[in-house]
Chain A
């Protein structure tokens, strides 16, 4: 006699700590096997894009900070590149170098949160504390640069709000020597941990064609084994002057494109970021960082789409100007928003506990998903 089964609907969130914010996942279960996952988003929606239309171009920058609040430097970077493209202005070399240094430090800080909380989600408490200890050092560097630890308003259209602190170069070099061994420590602690591998290897495998069709970018796409990084493939700022690799998922402990690969790409990327920062500090030119800031920002009529490689993926800004001092329309293509759209595909036929492992590896920030 066959057992009678019945579908069950389980709500995960919006207050569940593993959803990294206010995200509700509606999960349809058959026994413990997942049939369908429907993400419900919008709990943090504040219509950022509507706000922008009432602001002048520089006033939008603090708003961009509050999207992906773990990578605020990256958000500002993308926005000012878009506006500068629209204005057609060049910025001094020193500004570009400082922006790159900030962007890469931010990538390390963001990846540390992703790695730390990922371990925490799966049941490893210690790596979380270690990651936050190291992130603290990066945040201290940001603090001496612009006074803020998370939401900076540092990168401005045409320049920066301040020049570097006299101690910045020395402290950043100290951070590089301090942090290199910590990556190895993290590998010993988490990456090669047997329990961690059991939980993440061969879970949530994302084939490459699916990933591209779903618009997946960033460490998630590279985890599926595709060498695609906007810093190299659609280069911007001064990234073409540095020598660095693009790490991809190789399926070392399981299948290419599983959760472990997505996680490990982030670890390797932190090492590459250190390489870039080191080169940028060596080459850092002298100059004035505020000289190219335009007095009045009034771009000509037209539209622009500019994108940068944020820690979580491709961050694009689509800005339409109607010739006034406020943008006519700003649309943000947030990597978290697009990456979250694939949850249903990744979770199908997995167990409930795997949803946590998969969501952690997608690495979302709800501030950017909901905007």
Chain B
């Protein structure tokens, strides 16, 4: 079993600048990583014999809403800022846990996919794509999952999402 610092140092040795920092919060700590190298980092975490992170517990997309927001005619729009993805990992053998976080700019929300490292990430990434519009590069099957396939009124979990007025001719606000 390794502590978060040990894991962070081990990653830092192997990935240098792609591992940014270990952020400490009151409850959970996380490691900030490069979004385009997350697949290589994940593969290392899975296959390194001292780490063996074989289970991805959870993967969540988050809209950080840290850009500049403007309100015009009751509709909020956010410019700049980032969208983030949190990865909660666990090793069923060594019983240690770690949280990774990546942040990508809202204008070009691209991150490398980890769906081929942990297959459970497949649907989680599709969900993050569906609800937040984060594009996972090299994902085997990046389609909408919860929203209708023909939904084109934006990404619901973004903080500046506004309901469309009509969907297939039906009035949406009730």
A interface residues with partner B (beta carbon < 8 Å): 41-42, 45, 47, 49-50, 85-86, 88, 212-216, 226, 228, 233, 300-305, 307, 314, 316, 318, 320, 329, 331, 333, 337-338, 341, 370-371
CB-CB nearest in chain B for A209: B54
Chain B interface size, under 10 / 10 to 19 / 20 to 34 / 35 or more:
20 to 34
Question: B28 contacts which of A212, A305, A370 (Cβ < 8 Å)?
Answer: A305
Chain B residues within CB distance 8 Å of chain A: 25-28, 30, 54-58, 60-63, 86, 88, 92, 95, 99, 118-120, 122-124, 131, 144-148, 156-157, 161
Query: A85 and B146 in contact (CB under 8 A), knowing A316-B58, A333-B57?
Result: no
Q: CB < 8 Å: which of A213, A228, A304, A318 contacts B118? A: A213
In angstroms, Cα B136 to Cα A6, docked, is: 34
Tell me whether A88 and B118 are in contact in the complex, defined as CB-CB below 8 angstroms, given that A215-B56, A370-B146 are known contacts: no
Asked, given contacts A49-B157, A50-B157, A303-B86, whether A215 binds B146 with beta carbons under 8 Å apart, the answer is no
A-B pairs with lowest CB-CB distance, top 6:
A215-B120, A331-B60, A302-B25, A42-B146, A333-B58, A45-B146
Whether the pair B55, A215 counts as a contact (CB closer than 8 A) is: yes
Given contacts A41-B146, A331-B58, contact A215 B118 (CB under 8 A): yes
Contact B54 A302 (CB under 8 A): no
Given contacts A42-B147, A331-B61, 15 further A-B contacts (CB under 8 A): A41-B145, A42-B146, A47-B146, A214-B119, A215-B56, A215-B120, A226-B92, A228-B92, A304-B27, A304-B28, A305-B57, A316-B58, A329-B62, A329-B63, A341-B123
B123 → chain A, closest Cβ, in Å?
5
Nearest opposing residue in chain B for A342, CB measure:
B119
**Can you name 26 A-B pairs with beta carbons within 8 Å?**
A41-B146, A45-B147, A47-B131, A49-B157, A50-B157, A88-B27, A212-B55, A213-B54, A213-B120, A214-B120, A226-B92, A305-B57, A307-B57, A316-B57, A316-B58, A318-B86, A320-B62, A329-B62, A329-B63, A337-B123, A338-B120, A338-B123, A338-B124, A341-B120, A341-B122, A371-B146
Contacts of B157 in A (CB 8 A): 47, 49-50, 329
User: How far is the CB of A324 from the nearest CB of chain B, in Å?
Assistant: 13
Q: Report the bound CA distance from A338 to B120 in whole Å.
A: 7
Task: Tell me if B120 and A316 are in contact (CB < 8 A).
Answer: no
A71 → chain B, closest Cβ, in Å? 19
- Asked if A305 and B99 make an inter-chain contact with CB atoms under 8 angstroms apart, the answer reads yes
Partner of A233, one of B58, B61, B95, B144: B95
Chain A nearest CB, measured from B13 CB (Å): 26
Could you say which of B55, B56, B124 has the most chain A C-beta atoms within 10 Å of its C-beta? Answer: B55
Contact at B62–A305, with CB atoms within 8 Å?
A: no
How far is A314 from B63 in the complex, measured between Cα atoms in Å? 25
Minimum distance in angstroms from A129 CB to a CB of chain B = 35
Q: Which residue of A lies closest to B27 (CB)?
A: A304
Chain A residues positioned under 8 Å from B156 (CB to CB): 47, 50
Q: Is the interface of A mostly helix, strand, loop or mixed?
A: mixed
- In the assembled complex, the Cα of A329 lies from the Cα of B144 at a distance in Å of 20
Most buried by B among A42, A50, A301: A42
Residues B54 and A212 in contact, CB atoms below 8 Å apart: yes
CB distance from A112 to the nearest CB of B (A): 28
Residues of chain B within 8 A of A86, CB atoms compared? 26-27
- Minimum CB distance partner of B24 in chain A: A302
Instruction: State which of B26, B88, B92, B118 has its C-beta within 8 Å of the C-beta of A305.
Output: B88
A85, B27: Cβ atoms closer than 8 Å: yes
Chain B residues positioned under 8 Å from A212 (CB to CB): 54-55, 92
Contacts of B61 in A (CB 8 A): 331
**In the complex, chain A residues whose CB is within 8 Å of the CB of B95:** 233
Q: A303-B86, A338-B123, A371-B146 are in contact. Are A215 and B27 (CB under 8 A)?
A: no
What A residues does B88 contact at CB under 8 A? 305, 316, 318
- With A and B bound together, what is the CA distance between A187 and B61 in angstroms? 44
A42 proximity list for chain B (CB < 8 A): 144-148
Give which listed residue, A45, A85, A214, A318, contacts B58 with CB less than 8 A.
A318
